[in-house]
Amino acid sequence: MTAFDIDRILAETFVRQVEYRPETKSTNDLAIELASHGANDFPALTITDRQTGGRGRGANQWWAAEGALTFSLTIDSKVLGLETRDWPKMSLTMGLSVCEVLERLVPDRRVHLKWPNDVFLEGRKVCGVLVETIAQRPGLIVIGIGINVNNSFADAPPELRSIATSLVDVALRSFGVADVLVLQLQQIEARIGTVIAGSEDLAEAWRARCMLEGRTLSIELGTRRLTGVCHGIDDEGALIIQTEGGIERCFAGVISQIL
């Protein structure tokens, strides 16, 4: 039986529609499929107990064993009043909202935001965010979030164990995934509110958690590669890199190396 209580989600969060599947390939794919077939009640949540083919940025996959929390939230930017110019801030802001929930759940542990869409706990990746739009439904935004909650990496292959972690591995106790989900949805709502309001604390909040600040790194921008020292994240959500040729602001890209 699933841990998720749909009535509770509807009562305690801003979600208006829930689509639960015991198993699905990708909650983002499911969200896109439902929206493409005319779903109209947003925010809509797609959630599963077992995601079998989760997608990450680019060609990346998202591995989620039993005990992980994987869901997607589809929002209608027009109804919420979210301007198109603010869409590029969404990945980072959603990562920030996960940081804020983890800081409550494991208050004594190090939580960082790795621009543009990862959350790290005690130096290892604990969450990934995949924000997508839907060609047939302009204005809708799908926010896919995977958080390693009770899925321990203790028995994972060593190459994975050294780069990924979960809440249970760090806290040495399990968490109620349904509780984590409700907290997370509430924090997402609060943070979307700060984007819409143009709150000044937003940029401060993501800067304070930036894992890359002060580090020398390489970033791939399509066919172009930049190397330099990271000077944090600016008010628009761009990563600032001091290269030999000057300051560069990066709005998208893949961090390929951290020295």
Q: Rule CB under 6 A: which residues touch ligand BTN?
A: 26-28, 51, 54-57, 60, 62, 70-72, 118, 128-130, 144-146
Please report how close the Cβ of residue 70 comes to ligand BTN at its closest, in angstroms: 4
Judged by beta carbon, residue 70 or residue 77, the one nearer ligand BTN is 70
The C-alpha atoms of residue 129 and residue 144 are separated, in whole angstroms, by 6
Cis peptide before 88 (omega within 30 of 0): no
Judged by beta carbon, residue 59 or residue 172, the one nearer ligand BTN is 59
Judged by beta carbon, residue 27 or residue 187, the one nearer ligand BTN is 27
Tell me whether strands 69-76 and 140-147 are parallel, antiparallel or unpaired: antiparallel
Please report how close the Cβ of residue 199 comes to ligand BTN at its closest, in angstroms: 25
Judged by beta carbon, residue 114 or residue 228, the one nearer ligand BTN is 114
Please report how close the Cβ of residue 49 comes to ligand BTN at its closest, in angstroms: 12
Q: Looking up tokens 């509430």, which residue turns up?
A: 186
Question: In which element (H, E) is residue 240 found?
Answer: strand 239-243
The C-alpha atoms of residue 82 and residue 243 are separated, in whole angstroms, by 33
Residue nearest to ligand BTN (CB): 128
Judged by beta carbon, residue 145 or residue 181, the one nearer ligand BTN is 145
Please report how close the Cβ of residue 200 comes to ligand BTN at its closest, in angstroms: 28
Residue 145: name the closest of 225, 90, 194 by CA.
90
Please report how close the Cβ of residue 131 comes to ligand BTN at its closest, in angstroms: 9
Burial label for 161, CB within 10 Å (0-12, 13-18, 19+), is middle
The C-alpha atoms of residue 47 and residue 221 are separated, in whole angstroms, by 32
Please report how close the Cβ of residue 198 comes to ligand BTN at its closest, in angstroms: 27
Burial label for 259, CB within 10 Å (0-12, 13-18, 19+), is exposed
Distance of CA 234 to the CA centre of its chain: 19
Judged by beta carbon, residue 77 or residue 184, the one nearer ligand BTN is 184
